A and B are shown apart, each in its own frame.
Chain A
Amino acid sequence: MDERHFVVIGNGPGGSQAALTLRRESPESRITVISKERGGFYPPHRIPELISGVISEEDLFVFSPGSFKERNIKLRSGQEVVDLDLRNQQVILEHKEKIPFDGLIIAVGGKPRIPEYLAVFSDLLMTLKTLQNAKDWVAKLSSAQKVLIVGGDLTSLAFSKILLSMQKQVYFLLSEEAFWPIRCTPALFEEVSLALARKGIHVLTPSQIRSLSVLPDKSIELRTDHDTVCADIIGAFFGLVPDIRFTARSGLKIDRGILVDEYLFTGFQGVYAAGDCAQIYHPQIQDYWVSIGHDNAVALGRIAAMNLLGSRVMANVSKESIFEVQDIKVNTSWWTEF
């Protein structure tokens, strides 16, 4: 009888994969998944399809809460971790409940990144990461005609197509940060601009956003150094940043994510990190890299679980597939999607 208690923080692709692997490899252990978001597991990259109505909310979920129950995995849904007491091996929840663990996998993924210069306007910007975000989009789109996409990441490309299919006028404001974390070379910039324009998207290429303001008719006016655009909705798509504020007092080493070795080990006994929130050491390049994308997260979740149970599986990516952008070394499964 394995009486160990494994806790997984996060119920995205990495977290759910970690939990499923733990269950498969350690059938008798106790497993708890803690998720800030309510409900089961859904692949976030399919959210745009939900907005367009191609799939229903029911179709979106890969694992319902009931699926976790069937696998004897306790899902604490809608519950937020606010602190870690790694010395005493405890996770502390917002409602002051302490959850002891024998093994911990942190796979909380990322949250929408808003560049500093836009932070002041964040109330006017919509993001698209969670199911709730999707619901908000659906509600707003019902009465919106013009949508302005600022920033741009790969989600925004798929989403723009969907907006067009919904007969919306789409404006795309490409900036230097577009397609973060992919390097946006002038050639790529040009290519993307043309591709978007061919699809009927109005492409703007300013060098600076000057102001954002709400007009009396509730539309939002955006002024740049080149243009003035009015839209009913402005969506900000600047990629994700690790959602790891709760680790601040834990003693974990943090840079752009939780620093882990090539086995995803944090240095604290029984504590691993996986997916978008981890920054992983690469022995060959002797530096840390971050991983982005659904497929990478799934692979890392599996590796973290295996290693927590005693394996020595390396998060092995060829150094050629890692590139550098804005001083961060990145490997992304989005390349293929792109």
Chain B
Amino acid sequence: MGGKDLTIEICGMSGDGTIAAGQLLNAALVNAGYSLLAFDSYPAEIRGFGRCVTHSRVGSGKMIALKNKAHVLISLDDQESVSRIPFLDTDAVVLFDNKPMAFLAENQSIAAHVEPEAKLIGVPFGDLSAGATGSRQGRNLVALGAFAGLFGVLPEFFNKAIEKKFSSKGKPVVDSNLACFQVGYQHVLEFYKEDISGDLGEASVHENKDSFLISGNEAIAMGALDANVHFYFGYPITPATPVMEILAEKLPKRGGKVMQMEDEIASIGAVIGSFFAGKRAMTATSGPGFALMTELIAHATVTETPAVIVNAQRGGPGTGLPTKTEQSDLQVAVYGGPGDSARIVWAPTDVQECYEFTLRSFQIAEKYQTPVILLTDFFLHNRVESLEKLSSAAEMISDGNLYPAEEKINAYKRYEITETGISPRALPGSEGFIFSATGLEHTEKGRPDYSSAIHMQMSEKRHRKIRGALSDLPPPVEYAPKGQLDLGIIAWGSTFGAALEAVTQEQEQGKRIGALKITSIFPFHEEVISAFMTKCREVLIPELNFEGQLANLIGHLHGKKVKRLNQVTGTPLTPWDIGEAIHSILKVLD
């Protein structure tokens, strides 16, 4: 990746305004025209204690992954920030409050822990905030001002972000935040002249002037809105809750409704009921909630009722790591539930795809009359990216239902065996198209029938239908030079960006290496994947799970064992992590 490329972390304790500072930083840098990818991590507890960290990668080119090392650390709480030191570049810039309220014992300051090559920038965050506003609460804004001064970000970009964020709280709040920012900015100009790098200065401003910031959560909500969803039923759970919060604000304005249900079982039940009645609906949950939904997902499979479910994966098993990212629900998404309940599972790899896949999930669910699971993760939901536009084409959101022909009136078979496995679907109340739907195995007319012949026939029909959905699902995308490869990386979900960046770096070094992006998890494009594997001496599948769940699903397509990189640290894989694995594999090959 050429051009500027800077990773900035802000670390503090809950209540320090860390996340708010990160949001302002991101907004300001996008205002300044930079491309950005950012992600927050915070404690599982509601408030009061625990470490909050924001990560922002900013630069001139498109940012597709986080880096493993930060170039800048803004410490709003030294005790917490010490934990970030192993993740800093050796010559990182560390901004910290050099005038804490009380004297510190040895090693209580972050200054005691940074590497001597690091550039320590002490700014009296609290004192300057108190001087500007009478309160030390604006420390985070002072820190942002100091950052802007050091790196040459024009104050107008921050001012715009501050005004936007705080305008609803009134002018005094806006003014005090602006004042805190300004004193931090001036302090650096006055006392750190020699350290001003201007790395994010005017020269590159407006490279991406039309871009805007959007999170994975917002993209999913926007996708649902643009697909004309009528109902959202959900039960709060990290990291999916913001989807419900966004829709709660916006959906009623479009004539829809958001209902918080008593649990996830009720949520999926309501989604199925709504689709059964012909109205688009969705729910979003995470692993523990998804586990509760599996019986009704199977019910939707057997009744051939559409449903759209977002599973925002987080660290498991069980309640696990509620505020950490993981990709360990692939198996439950594909196989979870009683019986052979094949369903469609697809996984976006970035925020743009979060929007597009959500948008299209409704149509696909309707067309194939089956649950569509959008398999995302904490990193995708909580990250923000600068994008240039989100657009929906009419053909992506149009009604996906295949209605029965008029001549079938009074002879309608709801579960008619067809070549594609798709039975024309009548909605309840369609005159002359009477049918029954049941979770029991049934005949083409929908009457319960447990005979082995019917069960064989219907099982085959439902699976044929799911296989046929491949034509509507995006095929894997290959990023590789022509010809044989020493190593192929196959990645999915939020890990793909890191894999692609790692592969690109190796390709630039002349390595025969390629990447394959898989978004259709089930059904998957067996032939394309197999063809890619065939031309690779080795195949590596990096995943944020312990068991290698995608590797278990597709690994058999390779002539020999695929290599695995499995990480369950609760943090995203970085290009560096994958690069290390690549190097060790290539070393053996050499």
A residues whose Cβ falls under 8 Å from a Cβ of B? 38-40, 65, 68-69, 75-79, 92-100, 132, 135-136
Return A40 CB to nearest CB of chain B, in Å.
Answer: 7
Contact assessment for B106 and A94 in the assembled complex, using a CB-CB cutoff below 8 Å:
no
Tally the A-B contacts, defined by beta carbons under 8 Å.
64
Please list the 10 inter-chain residue pairs (A to B) with the smallest Cβ-Cβ separation, ordered nearest first: A65-B116, A77-B116, A95-B98, A75-B116, A97-B109, A97-B104, A78-B120, A96-B103, A99-B106, A65-B117
A38-B117, A97-B108 provided; 13 other pairs, C-beta below 8 A?
A: A76-B112, A77-B116, A77-B118, A78-B119, A93-B109, A93-B111, A96-B100, A96-B104, A96-B109, A97-B104, A97-B111, A98-B104, A98-B106
Closest to A133 in B: B194
Q: How far is the CB of A110 from chain B (nearest CB, A)?
A: 20
A-B contact pairs, 26 of them (CB 8 A): A38-B117, A38-B119, A39-B116, A39-B117, A68-B116, A75-B116, A76-B111, A76-B116, A78-B120, A79-B120, A92-B103, A93-B109, A93-B111, A94-B98, A94-B122, A95-B104, A95-B109, A95-B122, A96-B104, A97-B104, A97-B111, A98-B104, A98-B105, A98-B106, A132-B194, A135-B194
B102 within 8 A of A: yes
Q: Say yes or no for B99: interface residue by CB 8 A criterion.
A: yes
- B103 and A98 contact, CB distance less than 8 A: yes
Which of the residues A75, A95, A99 comes within 8 Å of B100, measured between beta carbons? A95
Chain B residues with CB under 8 Å of A40's CB are 116
Q: Which of B60-108 contact A (CB under 8 A)?
A: 96-100, 102-108
Most buried by B among A95, A97, A99, A100: A95
Tally of chain B residues near chain A (CB < 8 A) = 23
Q: Tell me the complex Cα distance, A79–B119, Å.
A: 10
The answer to whether B99 touches A95, judged by C-beta atoms less than 8 angstroms apart, is yes
Tell me the bound Cα distance from A329 to B119 in angstroms. 39
Whether the pair B111, A95 counts as a contact (CB closer than 8 A) is yes
B116 touches A97 (CB 8 A): no
Which residues of B are in contact with A by a Cβ distance under 8 Å?
Answer: 96-100, 102-109, 111-112, 115-120, 122, 194
User: Which residues of chain A are within 8 angstroms of B117 by Cβ–Cβ distance?
Assistant: 38-39, 65, 77
* Nearest-Cβ distance from residue B62 to partner chain A, whole angstroms: 34
Contacts of B98 in A (CB 8 A): 94-96
Complex CA gap A97/B111 in Å reads 9
Contact between A95 and B96 (Cβ–Cβ < 8 Å)?
yes
Q: Which residues of B sit under 8 angstroms from A95, Cβ to Cβ?
A: 96-100, 104, 109, 111, 122
Q: In the complex, which residues of chain B have a beta carbon less than 8 angstroms from the beta carbon of A76?
A: 111-112, 116
Report the separation of the CA atoms of residues A118 and B103 in the bound assembly, to the nearest whole angstrom. Answer: 38
Contact residues in A for B104 (Cβ distance below 8 Å): 95-98
B109 to A: closest C-beta gap in Å: 4
Partner of A79, one of B107, B111, B194: B111
Q: Which residues of B contact A65 (CB under 8 A)?
A: 115-117
- B112 → chain A, closest Cβ, in Å? 6
| Inter-chain contacts of B112 with A (CB < 8 A) | 76, 97
State the CA gap A78–B195 with chains docked (Å).
12
CB distance from A287 to the nearest CB of B (A): 39
Question: Shortest distance in angstroms between A242's beta carbon and chain B's nearest beta carbon?
Answer: 23
Query: Once bound together, how far apart are the Cα atoms of A56 and B105, in whole Å?
Result: 39
A97–B106 contact, CB under 8 A?
A: yes
CA distance A79 to B104 in the complex (A): 15
User: In the complex, what residue of chain B is closest to A92 when comparing beta carbons?
Assistant: B103
Known: A79-B120, A132-B194. A96 touches B115 (CB 8 A): no
Residues of A within 8 A of B97 (CB): 95
Using Cβ atoms and an 8 Å threshold, which residues of chain B touch A75? 116
Query: Closest chain B residue to A68 by CB distance?
Result: B116
User: Complex formed: what's the CA distance from A100 to B108 in Å?
Assistant: 13
Most buried by B among A93, A99, A132: A93
Q: How far is the CA of A167 from the CA of B164 in the complex (A)?
A: 55
B101 closest partner in A (C-beta): A96
A9 to chain B, nearest CB (A): 15
- Which of A40, A98, A136 has the most chain B CB atoms closer than 10 A to its own CB? A98
| Closest-CB distance, B305 to chain A (whole angstroms) | 63
Residue of B with least CB distance to A77: B116
Closest partner residue, chain A, to B108 (CB atom): A97
CB neighbours (8 Å) of A94 from chain B are 98, 122
Q: Which residue of B lies closest to A135 (CB)?
A: B194
**Distance in Å: Cβ of B485 to nearest Cβ of chain A:** 38
Residue on B nearest A95 in the bound complex, by CB: B98
B residues near A69, Cβ cutoff 8 Å: 116
A residues less than 8 Å from B105 (CB atoms): 97-98
User: Chain A residues with Cβ under 8 A from B96's Cβ?
Assistant: 95
A96 to B103, CA, bound (A): 5
Q: Which of A40, A76, A97, A98 has the most CB of B within 10 A?
A: A97
- Asked if residues A96 and B102 are in contact (CB atoms below 8 Å), the reply is yes
Contacts of B106 in A (CB 8 A): 97-100
Give the distance in Å from the alpha carbon of A97 to the alpha carbon of B78 in the complex.
12
Kindly list chain B residues whose C-beta atoms are within 8 Å of the C-beta of A39: 116-117
> Which residue on chain B has the smallest CB distance to residue A33?
B116
Cβ contacts under 8 Å, A78 to chain B:
116, 118-120
**B99, closest chain A residue (CB):** A96
Task: Report the minimum CB–CB distance from B39 to chain A (whole Å).
Answer: 29
Min CB distance B98 to A, Å, is: 4
Residues of B within 8 A of A136 (CB): 194
User: Which A residues touch B194, using CB under 8 A?
Assistant: 132, 135-136
Report the minimal beta-carbon distance from B281 to chain A, rounded to whole angstroms: 56
CA distance A75 to B118 in the complex (A): 11
Give Cα distance in the complex from A135 to B194, angstroms. 10
CA distance A94 to B107 in the complex (A): 14
Q: Measured between alpha carbons, how far is A94 from B97 in the docked complex, in Å?
A: 11
Contacts of B115 in A (CB 8 A): 65
Cα distance A39–B91 in the bound complex, in angstroms: 10
What A residues does B102 contact at CB under 8 A? 96
Closest A residue, CB atoms, query B112: A97
Q: Which residue of B has the minimal Cβ distance to A65?
A: B116
Residues of chain A within 8 A of B109, CB atoms compared = 93, 95-97
Instruction: Give the CA-CA distance A98 to B119 in the complex, in Å.
Output: 20
Complex CA distance for A94 and B120, rounded to whole angstroms: 12
Min distance, Cβ B14 to any Cβ of chain A, angstroms: 23
Residues of B within 8 A of A98 (CB): 103-106
Residue of B nearest to A69 (CB): B116
Residue of B nearest to A11 (CB): B116
Residue on A nearest B98 in the bound complex, by CB: A95
Min C-beta distance of B383 to chain A, whole Å: 33
Q: Closest CB-CB distance, B359 to chain A, in whole Å?
A: 51
